[in-house]
A and B are shown apart, each in its own frame.
Chain A
């Protein structure tokens, strides 16, 4: 009799412990994401794996990660910024315009031998002559004209393009430098498109 009671108590304890574990680890609603995809062209299965920023910023709209986590993401991003190797921030604005207009690059339907674009115009207003601009990001019209070209603003803009999460932890903008979307030269060309007084952005 005594023994039975002991065993059933133990059983109850075991059952409740496992229930607690289940309650603490809410089942992942996503299940096996990889099972729904297949590698194609340059888009390998590794693209489904998320880095800490991507994971932290996958919450429903406007939910931001906790402060500590956010600070870690920001400072990590800041540390990874690589300034231009020769210290020159500005390239060729005409080449920059082509990059700003081009949405191709890194899709499985794209030719990996072709240079990537960054499609600034998908989300930003830039040159007043281009009416087909998106509104997901702020207007960049007259970017250099309004801000000058001090070292501080050049450095800031470079790091913004490199990894926007330094400034907005869950920014929607791709990490053009950090994620290797644009080359250093391409980043300089986009910088010139923003800052060069002759660029249509500043007309």
Chain B
């Protein structure tokens, strides 16, 4: 935490210096404003765009033992149909008979179309801090970008989709571990913050919509695009729980719950985050 605090402080002060904000004003109003202003400085620029382009290349490249591209991958709207697909995920897929989120589905396509081994793909799905983005991160950024402006529409038509929502909701409030934390510990009250970081109240539509619509996002403190599966896993780590498994029922349940809470909000990912 020491180093993290150091980074945090350095970031805050670099930002303050750049904005020429008097320290007294910050002390009085030390909310998310600093980050909001920092984000504003980027204007319409988001470093995630470079990673989206990498993802676009990966999508059409011939790769893997089967020497195939991902262009025939069906993300729910039909093979190769990308526009608006991410806004409708997670969803039930008849071919695998389960609810899948974007990342699980991408892995499925890399296995079935390109012949990669699933265990290799999920062994280290996310990049380390400061590394080049992982294939999954780049692809997620690209696919998410193709839903920009599309209202989120996470379906609850299939029984498995409803079960995923109920599982995610129940786990959201599941207190466990030495610190007794649940997701709700930090994300069930409005207008609160942890240190200087504003905490979205994910049990209310207003905050849940904004939060969900901006994942995946370029995380300034991580120096790369982070995905929704990463976000769920990192929350579980901070809750002091064992490692939440990529594509697990709880991970997909949580993403389904949050997605349904965000329904109606135009997708605006990849976002730009602290």
Report chain B residues within 8 Å CB of A32: 249
**A15-23, A98-106, A140-148: which lies at the B interface?**
A98-106
Report chain B residues within 8 Å CB of A36: 244-245, 248-251
Cross-chain contact of B175 among A50, A101, A123, A134 (Cβ < 8 A): A50
Between B1, B4, B167, the greatest number of chain A beta carbons within 10 A of the residue's beta carbon is seen for B1
Q: Mask for A26-55, Cβ within 8 A of B = 1, else 0?
A: 001111110111111001110111100111
Report the bound CA distance from A37 to B245 in whole Å: 5
Chain B residue at minimum C-beta to C-beta distance from A128: B27
Chain A residue at minimum C-beta to C-beta distance from B249: A36
Report chain B residues within 8 Å CB of A175: 180
Q: Is B176 a contact of A132 with CB atoms below 8 Å?
A: no
Report chain B residues within 8 Å CB of A135: 191-193
Report the bound CA distance from A117 to B251 in whole Å: 28
Interface size range of chain A in the complex: 35 or more
Report chain B residues within 8 Å CB of A119: 1
Report the bound CA distance from A54 to B179 in whole Å: 10
Q: Is A106 a contact of B195 with CB atoms below 8 Å?
A: no
Q: Is B9 a contact of A107 with CB atoms below 8 Å?
A: no
Report the bound CA distance from A61 to B172 in whole Å: 10
Q: Is B175 a contact of A54 with CB atoms below 8 Å?
A: yes
A131 in contact (CB, < 8 A): yes
Q: Mask for A156-185, Cβ within 8 A of B = 1, else 0?
A: 000000000000000010110001110000
Interface size range of chain B in the complex: 35 or more
B119 CB, nearest partner CB in chain A, Å = 13
B8 in contact (CB, < 8 A): yes
18 further interface pairs, Cβ-Cβ under 8 Å (given A29-B166, A106-B179, A175-B180): A31-B167, A35-B249, A36-B244, A36-B249, A37-B236, A37-B243, A39-B243, A43-B241, A50-B174, A58-B182, A60-B184, A60-B203, A104-B2, A131-B26, A132-B8, A174-B180, A179-B179, A180-B178
A-B contact pairs, 30 of them (CB 8 A): A29-B166, A29-B170, A30-B174, A32-B249, A36-B250, A37-B236, A37-B241, A37-B248, A38-B245, A40-B243, A43-B177, A45-B242, A47-B176, A47-B240, A47-B241, A48-B242, A57-B180, A61-B173, A103-B4, A104-B1, A106-B240, A108-B237, A109-B237, A131-B27, A133-B30, A133-B195, A134-B192, A135-B192, A174-B178, A174-B180
